[in-house]
Amino acid sequence: MELNVLTIEGKETGRKVNLPEAVFGIEPSDHAIYLDVKQYLANNRQGTHKSKERAEITGSTRKIKKQKGTGTARAGSIKSPVFVGGGRAFGPRPRNYRFKLNKKLKQLARKSALAYKAQTQMITVLEDFNFEAPKTKDYAALVTNLKLNGQRSLLVLKEANDNIYRSARNIQRAEVVTLDELNTFDIMKAKNLVLVESSVEEFGKLFNA
């Protein structure tokens, strides 16, 4: 797949780059994407949910009414789950939601997500650029020039750039990541994938393609 390289003003440079066929041209695996996104969301869960059971409730331990003769069910504790203010039966307890996936499956999931973006022509390639200082208006102008206003975009850099990152962090629906931070969830969440020219060459190395 061949794409034109654009400037940050949204104009063509006259250069073109080829996206690695072994990464962007594969047949996507929906199930691999599903598993990888599921793992990403599960690993982000804190798992600190907790409710008090009857043994943890503070309350009187005396028998609240006599055993027989009341015409209603017997009851021995105000902390019983059947009463308002009592403990919860089988309530949630803290747990770890994390689970593991094979490296090859996770790699297939990322390649599949990238392939979907290539198939739907939602990839833009920019020439390498930098900002002299972190300014939100500079990145806002970039988004406007690429006609991405109101759309969720993901800019992929070859290496960390503090000025670009800090310029983008106050803009809604705009995210910036480095190539080694790229994950399936972020790719699928973004409508438009923006790659800098130097990062395109590294995709083959990243995926051993």
* Confidence at residue 209, expressed as pLDDT on a 0 to 100 scale: 54
* Confidence at residue 192, expressed as pLDDT on a 0 to 100 scale: 94
Enter the tokens of residue 135.
């300014």
Average pLDDT, integer, range 163-169 = 94
**pTM as predicted:** 0.84
Q: Mean pLDDT, the chain, as a whole number?
A: 92
Write out pLDDT tens, residues 118-128. 999 999 999 99
Average pLDDT, integer, range 13-41 = 94
Cα–Cα distance for residue pair 36/184, rounded to 1 Å: 7
Enter the tokens of residue 116.
């979907």
Helices (H), the chain: 21-24, 30-43, 103-119, 136-145, 162-168, 184-189, 197-206
* Confidence at residue 207, expressed as pLDDT on a 0 to 100 scale: 79
Largest CA distance in the chain: 94
Write out pLDDT tens, residues 177-202. 999 899 999 999 999 999 999 888 88
Q: Return all residues near 62 (Cβ < 8 A) that are at least 6 apart.
A: none
Measuring CA to CA, which residue among 141, 164, 154 is closest to residue 193? 154
β-sheet with 153-157: strand ranges across: 12-18, 2-6, 123-126, 192-196, 153-157, 174-178
Q: What's CA 152's distance to the chain center, in Å?
A: 13
pLDDT level of residue 208 (50, 70, 90 thresholds):
confident
Average pLDDT, integer, range 1-15 = 89
Q: Is the pLDDT of residue 33 over 90?
A: yes
